[in-house]
Structure 1
Amino acid sequence: MAITAAMVKELRQSTGAGMMDCKNALQENDGDIDAAIDWLRKKGLSKAAKKSSRVAAEGLVAVSVDGNEAAIIEINSETDFVARNDQFQHLVRDVASNALKSDGSVASILASTSGVSGKSVETTLTDAVAKIGENMNLRRAAKLSVSQGVVASYVHNSVAPNLGKIGVLVGMESAGDVEKITALGKQIAMHIAASNPLALGPDELDPTVVERERNVLIDQAKASGKPDNVVEKMVEGRIRKFYEEVTLLKQTFVIDPDVTVEGALERLSKEIGSAVKISAFIFFKVGDGIEKEESDFAAEVAAAVKG
């Protein structure tokens, strides 16, 4: 497979490895970016744990919360100018409200009646495209509820109440003091926005992700020349460290680094005399995983001047 400059650039941005190392990694792995990342890590040339996503789409994430139930949506636009538009923000907030009343699926939200226009959300979005002059779409949505307790929320880089670039919902299951549970839930939601864990706990991690990490760690440990029994212990220790880095319950709590998130839950449980558990969490970041073609603005201006 032909290795292009764009592929080398992408790998270099993801890993921080040198240009020639990235080219060699791609050649050794037939252009497979993920395999090349692992190859670089095994050679000790990169510390990247995973391929970083290039966030390119604009728009807003919105949350709508009602006690033990909440919804979160993402509506994309072409530019950040639209995200700062009052009309667009009003529309996004209205769609989030509809999401809370629906089953949480994009299809059901689009079919629901908009409070802005009295038409369906789908038609309202189409009309907004024509009026605002920029393409936009409801990309994704989700709902979260608890049987008892609260669903806490947090919006980062907010442009208005419950509207921003990152949105988090956390299901806090407990029969205890609602005010204290809500306060901790908000802090945990802030923690999630900062650390973006891959899963709630080790058992919820994708087995393929764990296996991939284990294989890289095995190769790294073997390179040390240690005997197999020592290599096995090294790998198990590093896997535990991996869990501490990527699973919410095992992560060091950003708000209080003296405890893990799991420890903070146990501490509150003792304080209020009722078990407090996280049932699930949802993390949305605007444009996460969407790639947009990068343009050379200076070149565009030069071309426009030339006519």
Structure 2
Amino acid sequence: MAITAAQVKELREMTGAGMMDAKKALVENDGDMDAAIDWLRTKGLAKAAKKSGRTAAEGLVGVAVEGNTGIAVEVNSETDFVAKNAEFQGMVAKIANAALKVDDIDALNAADIDGKSVADTMTDAIAKIGENMGVRRVEKITGETVVTYIHNAVTDGMGKIGVLVALKGGDEAFGKQVAMHIAAANPAALNEAELDSGVVEKERQIQIDIARESGKPEEVIEKMIVGRMKKFMGEVTLLGQAFVINPDLTVESAAKEAGAEITGFIRMEVGEGIEKEEEDFAAEVAKAAQG
């Protein structure tokens, strides 16, 4: 019998199986949904859906550059053990290369690697490895030169923190130094103009409240705030920060000395912003014992 796209979609949603596996299961079982589910379970391909609710805060950041374009992509797993697996690393490398040809996460999930979409590849990996996984985000940058750096690298082009720096002028060696600085200092933005206005206003209000606690007159407080906000900008913007290679210089000054202009950067760290579930060891063992 003819298998419809709607049937395949329904089976995928019920089991978490890949598209081709779901279609094959329906073909093998003449469109019988229950039989198709059992078929997938016997093949070990219906595990993914059960794991989709589990927190995946480990994994790897992969970076790739092609011409004047660079990307960083975060692929998550539940445990660091999986991130050290060569098969997982190979998958991240393919996803990173696919990301060079797309503009957002939806397009990346639909992109083809080895004849399957990235989304289906992830579903198959979940079923095979037995952990929840996912492509969490992708960011792209362009520049005259794009330099990459991986902190805590597990293999070429991937690790726990990935940094890309876009430069105009200068050389790759200086770009690498800036990338290492970004990994360590974690600036919030390139400069004041690119800093979130909400962040700036919140800090300004905090400093005003602190200054008012001193009981000084408003005109004195205004002058205090100017100085404190300048200090804040020097702490959170890349160009204003003291350069880790030479703290006597700001990053902006170091760039000028190197004949370079830093036009942008990406810093991506595995798991940042994900709230991890905390379990004590006894609870973890009890959970495992229950199957």
Q: TM-score range by the shorter chain?
A: 0.7 to 0.9
Deviation at 1:305, TM superposition (A): 8.0
Query: Sequence identity of aligned pairs in percent?
Result: 54
Describe the SS at the equivalent of 2:116. coil
Paired residue secondary structure (2:247): coil
Question: What is the aligned counterpart of 2:117 among 87, 111, 120?
Answer: 120
Match of 1:282 among 255, 258, 266: 266
Larger Cα-atom Rg: 2
Cα deviations by residue, 1:230-258 (Å, 9 ceiling, x for unpaired): 11111110000000000000000011112
**Are residues 304 and 135 of structure 1, via their aligned partners in 2, closer, same or farther at CA, if it must alter by over 3 Å?**
closer
- 1:296 pairs, out of 275, 280, 289, with 280
Matched pairs, number: 237
Contact 2:76–2:134 (8 Å) recurs in 1: yes
Large movers: runs of 4+ above 2 Å: 298-307
Question: Partner of 2:129 in structure 1?
Answer: 132
Cα distance in 2 between the residues matched to 1:75 and 1:306: 29
1:143 aligns with 2:140: yes
Write the letter of the residue equivalent to 2:178. I
Q: Matches of residues 1-307 of structure 1 in structure 2 within 5 Å?
A: 57-100=57-100, 102-114=101-113, 117-146=114-143, 149-174=144-169, 180-269=170-259, 276-301=260-285
**How many Å separate the matches in 2 of 1:303 and 1:64?**
39
Distance in 1 separating the partners of 2:282 and 2:134: 29
Aligned residues of 1:103 and 1:143 also touching (Cα < 8 A): no
Alpha-carbon contact 2:190-2:264 (below 8 Å) kept: yes
Provide structure 2 residue ranges, at least 5 long, that are not aligned to the other structure. 1-54
Q: CA deviation at 1:297?
A: 1.1
Asked if structure 2 preserves the Cα contact closer than 8 Å seen for 1:71 and 1:104, the reply is no
Normalised TM-score (structure 2): 0.77
After superposition, the C-alpha distances for 1:90-121 in whole angstroms (9 at most, x for unaligned) are 00011001111x1231122222211xx32222
In the alignment, the residues of structure 1 paired with residue 158 and residue 103 of structure 2 have an alpha-carbon distance, to the nearest angstrom, of 18
| 1:206 Cα deviation after fit | 1.1
Provide, for residues 63-93 of structure 1, a one-character-per-residue CA deviation record: whole Å limited to 9, x for no partner: 0112421111000011111101110000001
Q: Is the 8 A contact 2:56 2:132 kept in 1?
A: no
Query: What is the Cα deviation at residue 290 of structure 1?
Result: 0.7
Answer whether contact 1:198 1:246 (CA < 8 A) is retained: yes
**Closer/same/farther in 2, CA of residues 305 and 253 from structure 1, 3 Å limit:** same
Q: TM-score, normalised by structure 1?
A: 0.73
Closer/same/farther in 2, CA of residues 306 and 164 from structure 1, 3 Å limit: closer
Structure-2 separation of matches of 1:187 and 1:288: 23
Q: Which residue of 1 aligns with 2:35?
A: none
CA contact (8 A) 1:244 1:251 kept: yes
Q: Partners of 1:107 and 1:89 in 2: how far apart?
A: 21
Shift, 1:303, TM fit: 7.6
266 and 297 in structure 1: CA distance in 2 versus 1, 3 angstrom threshold: same
SS at match of 1:158: strand
Larger proportion of strand:
2
Distance 1:140 1:128 in 2: 18
**Alpha carbons of 1:56 and 1:213: their partners in 2 closer, same or farther (altered >3 Å)?**
farther
| Structure 2 Cα separation of the partners of residues 305 and 130 of structure 1 | 20
Contact 1:168–1:193 (8 Å) recurs in 2: yes
CA distances 1:121-149 after superposition (whole Å, capped 9, x unpaired): 22111111111111111000011112xx2
Q: 1:91 to 1:217 in 2, by over 3 A?
A: same
**Could you tell me whether the CA contact under 8 Å between 1:201 and 1:248 is conserved in 2?**
yes
Point out where structure 1 has 5 or more consecutive residues left out of the alignment. 1-54, 175-179, 270-275
**RMSD of aligned Cα (Å):** 2.0
* TM-aligned CA distance change 1:203 to 1:296, over 3 Å: same
Distance between the aligned counterparts of 1:107 and 1:297, measured in 2?
37
Distance change in 2, residues 1:261/1:222 (3 Å): same
2-structure distance, mates of 1:93, 1:302: 36
